[in-house]
Amino acid sequence: MALDFELTRRGILTAGAAASAATALPAHAEEKPISAEPLPSKRAKALDLEMSYVEIGEGDPILFLHGNPTSSYLWRNIMPYAAPFGRCIAPDLIGMGGSDKRPLVEGEDPDARYRFFEHQKYLDALLENLGVTENVTLVIHDWGSALGFDWARRNEDKVKGICFMEGFTRPFSYSEMDWFPWAMFKSFKSGLGEWMVLEQNMFVEQVLPASVLRELTQEEMGYYQAPYVNAGEDRRPTLTWPREVPFDGEPAETHEMVVRLSEWLQSNNLPKLFVNAEPGALIQGEVRDFVRTWKNQEEITVRGIHFIQEDSPHEIGAALEKWIPKVNS
């Protein structure tokens, strides 16, 4: 077990370092400081739990959705760019950020609390409670992209546009992966995953910082670590998410969901802004080529591996400043 963990740790750091070395362009158009200060949060009821969220601005909703293992904190430097154009809302998904952890029911599979459709159920309830029901613009990332794309698919007539980055766009296959992500996901989906994530907090302590080009400050890491300080079940969301990633048709429910999304994304005509990451992680190579076939889409490129909001927040924000008014017109 110790050997497996060491190989995993080394692989993540090596992959991150290689990507950093390979990425000299595109450079930041204008260097601006990246703030570590979180935006003020609120709480609201979602079914039997309370969820935390950030809200700034007024007008039609602009919904920011995060993925694993982050929170609304990921959007802190980007939301102010969009706030003049609408009511910007960034929830923390259940069990993540400042939102409640879902209690474990006796005899229940621990992962059942944080599977995709469980997150979707609570997110739908929160959005209904907050009045996010029409004229919605989505800004989405990672698992937040799957949740956001599927909300848009189910509510197409209520959506004004979708900005997406490093998201879920088509089904995955182990045969398409390099050795390191192959080994990492195989481990997460095995019994080793509990030790790697629930005990070692691997997604927060290693995957997150290794997927950012710059070095996150101690203060920034502190905000990401805060929901997962306690080893064990408090960290369960960050383990269930990689287990939900569909490879070669399994798990069947999330595979079928991604297939539906992929088909819908190829056919709908909603305005889209694709924030391409260089070098990127989820969207590169053939996947990037596939995404570029979608209709009614603009594209920008920014520096970053996966958590590109931590490397290029001002470039993403400036793009939203230009794109949202066009969607609103």
Cβ contact 4:187 at 8 Å: yes
Given the residues 55, 92, 118, 142, select the one marked as catalytic.
Answer: 142
Place of tokens 């383990």: 239
Separation between Cα atoms, residue 306 and residue 141, nearest integer Å: 9
Cβ neighbors of 53 (< 8 A, separation 6 or more) are 41, 42, 43, 44, 72, 89, 90, 91, 92, 126, 130
Phi first, then psi, for residue 117 (nearest 5°) are -75, -20
Alpha-carbon dihedral sign for residues 321, 293, 305, 221: positive
- 157 belongs to the catalytic site: no
- 141 belongs to the catalytic site: no
Separation between Cα atoms, residue 198 and residue 265, nearest integer Å: 35
Separation between Cα atoms, residue 231 and residue 216, nearest integer Å: 22
- 306 belongs to the catalytic site: yes
| Residue-by-residue DSSP string for 44-75 | EEETTEEEEEEEE--SSEEEEE--SS--GGGG
Given the residues 66, 141, 306, 314, select the one marked as catalytic.
Answer: 306
Given the residues 55, 166, 278, 315, select the one marked as catalytic.
Answer: 166
Helix (H, G, I), strand (E, B) or coil at 275: strand
- Relative orientation angle of helices 116-130 and 143-154, to the nearest 10 degrees: 60
- Which residues, in sequence order, are bridge partners of residue 41? 54
Query: Which residues are known to be catalytic?
Result: 142, 166, 306
